[in-house]
Amino acid sequence: MRHIALQPDESEIKPLTEPVLLILLSLANKPLHGYALMRDIEILSNRRVRLSTGTLYGALRRLLEDSWIERFEQADTSREKQAYRLTPAGREYLHLELDRMKQLTRAANARLRTREV
């Protein structure tokens, strides 16, 4: 019997909320702790998105439950800061979401280029 890696059906892929998308993007390069995530999200969003701690930690809890992120031990912290990093599953879902957004952007640009009759 062959094992087949199942790809998520595109109809099953739900768009990510902006805070979740920004959290995953922030963790794409390196592990970060909560405060660093909040700062990076502000930078990524051009200061448009400022997450409250409740929103951030609620989203982190759900991402941990879904195994899209995992806790990461940082040896260089003097305080008990909890760091997080993206898992392979989280990276894959992030790529799927970015592909969905690219397709939508292409379709929108094509529509905007057409002239009204």
Question: 82-85: which pairs have CB atoms within 8 A and are 24 or more residues apart?
Answer: 82/33, 82/34, 83/31, 83/32, 83/33, 84/27, 84/31, 84/32, 84/33, 84/37, 84/60, 85/27, 85/30, 85/31
pLDDT tens across 16-25, in order?
899 999 999 9
Alpha helices in the chain (DSSP H): 18-26, 34-44, 53-65, 88-113
What is the predicted pLDDT for the residue at 1? 45
Mean residue pLDDT across the chain: 86
Domain boundaries, the chain: 17-113
pLDDT tens across 67-96, in order?
999 998 876 655 667 999 999 999 999 999
State in words which class domain 17-113 has.
mainly alpha
pLDDT tens across 46-62, in order?
999 999 999 999 999 99
What is the predicted pLDDT for the residue at 8? 54
How are beta strands 83-86 and 32-33 bridged, if at all?
antiparallel
Q: What percent of the chain has pLDDT over 90?
A: 70
How would residue 114 be classed by pLDDT, with cut points 50, 70 and 90?
A: confident
Q: What percent of the chain has pLDDT over 70?
A: 81
CB atoms < 10 A from the CB of 43, how many? Answer: 10
